[in-house]
């Protein structure tokens, strides 16, 4: 069962204290991070001049597609002949962070109607399964495509009652909140995998 908001908060306090601040997420050092401190005030960065787009992973021989090379079996939660659901390899700050990939090298917009229909059905089932776990209020579904050209759709579960960790910034909070207990995380992965397998495919977690 996922941790309650009180349990997550207790884990944060144990790490940094009630008045302490969690360390910045790694994304704060990315070139694409939009904020910086100027004269002691948080301000947006200056927008860079237009430049040539760089190839994504899977679009150039020097940047091969990691997904096409295969998925680490230790990270596979569920799979069928067309789709693979993975976890990041270790517990996260948010209760669950999962990624759904097609086996074939396809990107959003390249899916045929059957692939698109499958994506919609699996995504809907995943959200329903995860949101029915105890202490989970909502699942955010995200697709970014500027790094890799092989479609990967993210599912971020957020804790009910942890009201400071909501919306699009939940992704950043996930990197900052201390990871939860591994036994709880693995039990939740198993629940998601077995319930999703009710519609087909194989549970691996």
CA distance 177 to 155: 17
Provide the pLDDT for residue 123: 98
Whole-model pTM?
0.93
Question: Which of the listed CATH numbers 3.40.50.10090, 3.40.50.300, 3.40.50.720, 3.30.428.10 matches domain 5-203?
Answer: 3.30.428.10
Provide the pLDDT for residue 30: 87
Average pLDDT in the 72-96 region?
97
Closest by CA to 195, choosing from 114, 117, 133, is 133
Whether the per-residue pLDDT at 166 is higher than 90: the answer is: yes
**Tokens 């004269």 label which residue?**
39
Q: Quickly list H helices, the chain.
A: 5-16, 113-131, 170-176, 182-196
Provide the pLDDT for residue 1: 86
Closest by CA to 127, choosing from 203, 201, 196, 187, is 196
DSSP H or E segment with residue 44: strand 41-44
CA distance 118 to 83: 9
7-16 contacts, C-beta under 8 A, 24 or more apart: 8/159, 8/162, 8/177, 8/180, 9/162, 11/177, 11/178, 11/180, 12/177, 12/178, 14/178, 15/178
Whether the per-residue pLDDT at 75 is higher than 90: the answer is: yes
What sign for the dihedral angle of Cα 110, 116, 119, 124?
positive
Provide the pLDDT for residue 20: 84
The tens digit of pLDDT for each residue in 9-42 reads 999 999 998 888 998 888 888 888 898 889 999 9
């Amino acid at each position: 069962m996922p941790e309650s908001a009180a349990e997550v908060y207790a884990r944060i306090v144990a790490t940094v204290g009630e008045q302490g601040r969690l360390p910045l997420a790694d994304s704060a050092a990315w070139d694409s991070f939009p904020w910086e401190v100027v004269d002691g005030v948080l301000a947006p960065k200056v927008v860079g001049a237009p430049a040539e787009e760089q190839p994504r992973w899977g679009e150039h021989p020097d940047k091969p597609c990691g997904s096409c090379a295969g998925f680490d079996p230790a990270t596979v939660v569920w799979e069928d002949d067309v789709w693979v659901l993975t976890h990041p390899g270790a517990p996260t700050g948010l209760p669950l962070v999962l990624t759904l990939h097609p086996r074939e090298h396809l990107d959003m917009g390249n899916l045929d109607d059957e692939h698109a229909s499958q994506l919609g059905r699996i995504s809907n089932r995943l959200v329903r399964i995860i949101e029915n776990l105890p202490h989970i209020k909502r699942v955010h579904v995200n697709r970014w495509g500027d790094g890799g050209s092989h479609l990967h759709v993210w599912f971020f579960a957020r804790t009910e009652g942890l009201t400071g960790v909501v919306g699009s910034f939940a992704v950043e909070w996930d990197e900052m909140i201390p990871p939860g207990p591994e036994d709880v995380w693995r039990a939740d992965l198993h629940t998601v995998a077995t319930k999703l397998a009710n519609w087909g495919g194989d549970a691996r977690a």
